[in-house]
Amino acid sequence: MTSTARTPADLLRSALSADPARPLVTFYDDATGERVELSVATFGNWVAKTANLIQDELGAQPGDRAALLLPAHWQTAVWVLACFSTGVVVVPGGDPGRADLVVSGPDTLEEARACSGDRVALALRPLGGRFPQPPEGFLDYAVEVPSQGDRFVPYAPVDADAPALELPGGEELTGAEVTGRARASAAALGLTAGARLLSGRPYDDWDGLAAGLLAPLAAGASVVLCRNLDRLPPADLDKRRESERVTHTA
C-alpha cells in the first residue's frame, strides 16, 4: 500500500486513499478518563488544518525548526504530521531558544517562552478544548485551528531528501529516512495491515514516535496511544487490550 511513499506525508496520503474510514489513532488519558478515536480521514483533516495554520498563519518555511514540548497525545501526532507536510523540521523536546517555532503543552509554557519566534500553546483538554485563559504570548491552538482550511497544498513540494526530524542527541533524518525507518520499525514490531498496537511510550525519541504513530501509519495499522498509563490497574489494562482488539504492545 505504501511502497511508493517517500515522505511521512505520502504515507498519510496512501492511508487516505486506501481506507479513510478505518481507525488510525485511539487516544486514552488515564489521568482524565478521556478517550478519542480518530479515523484516517479525521486525522487527515486535523493535519490539513494544522498544516494550513503553520504555512499561512505562522508563515513557517521549509527547513524551519519546530520544538514540540508535548507529551504523547493525539494532538501531538497531528502536529508531527503537519510539520512533515509543510517541510518544517520536527524537534521533539527541542531547545525553544534554538527553534523558529515552539509548540507547548500547559506544563512547559515557561520553558517555551525562550523561543523568539512563534509560540503555540495546546491546552490538551478533553475534546480539544481551549485554555480557560489564553497564555500570554502564545496562540491558543484550539482557538486558531478550527477556521483553517480542510485541504492542504504546500506552496512547494516537500523535498524527501531535506531534513525532517531532529532526534535527541542531534541525529537528523530526512523525510525519506523517516519513512524508511517507519517501515523498518513496523517490521520489527511485527505490524501488518489491520494490526492494533498499544503504546504507552512518550514521543521524545524515535521508539516513541515510531510506536505511537509512524510505524502503524507505514504498515496500514492503527495505534492505541495511552498517556498516564501507569495510573491504570493491570486488570483494566487487560480489559483495554481486549475491548480495543489490541494485537501488539510496545
* Dist CA 243 CA 238 (whole Å): 9
Instruction: Specify the pLDDT at position 4.
Output: 86
Instruction: Specify the pLDDT at position 3.
Output: 65
**C-alpha cell belonging to residue 40:** 484516517
In order of their start, the domains of the chain are 8-249 (3.40.50.12780)
For residue 147, which phi and psi values (nearest 5 degrees)? -85, -5
Length of the chain: 250
Cα–Cα nearest to 222, from 194, 249, 250: 194
Contacts of 176 (CB under 8 A, 6+ apart): 6, 7, 160, 161
Cα–Cα nearest to 72, from 181, 200, 233, 223: 200
Instruction: Specify the pLDDT at position 2.
Output: 46
Instruction: Specify the pLDDT at position 127.
Output: 87
CB atoms within 10 A of CB 204: 17
How do the pLDDT tens digits run along the chain, 250 residues long? 446 899 999 999 999 999 999 999 999 999 999 999 999 999 999 999 999 999 999 999 999 999 999 999 999 999 999 999 999 999 999 999 999 999 999 999 999 999 999 999 999 999 899 999 989 999 999 999 999 999 999 999 999 999 999 999 999 999 999 999 999 999 999 999 999 999 999 999 999 999 999 999 999 999 999 999 999 999 999 999 999 999 999 9
